Amino acid sequence: MIPIRCISCGKPVSAYFDEYQDRIAKGEDPKAVLDDLGITRYCCRRMLITHVETW
């Protein structure tokens, strides 16, 4: 499960997790999706980019 908030700054990144995953699966560029979702800081961006959903 994705952490509720960004570990560094506290932004609730998990709220965008489903949308991010869906759009990536549709073939959109991760950079464009993150920019569009308003996730600007690199601490928050790595939360979504590097997350591996295992359970």
Partner 1 sequence: MEFEVINKNKDELVFMVNGADIAFVNAIRRICMMEVPTIAIDDVNLVKNDSAMFNEVLAHRLGLLPIASDIKSIEGLVMPDECDCGEYCPQCSVPMTLNKKGPCVVYSKDLESLDQKIKPVYDTIPLLKLKEDEEVCLEAYAQLGIGKEHAKWQPTIVCAYKFYPELTFGDECTSCGNCAGACPRGVLQYNNNKVEIMDLTNCSMCKSCYRACDDRVINISFDDSKFIFKIETDGSIPPEEVLLKACDVLSDKADKIIEIV
Binding residues for partner 1, per CB under 8 A?
1-2, 4-6, 9-12, 14-19, 41, 55
Q: How far is the CB of 10 from Zn ion (least distance, A)?
A: 7
Q: Which does 5 bind (CB under 5 to 8 A by kind): Zn ion, partner 1, none?
A: partner 1
Q: How far apart are CA 55 and CA 40, in angstroms?
A: 27
Applying CB under 5 A, the residues found at the interface with Zn ion are: 6, 8-9, 11, 41, 43-44
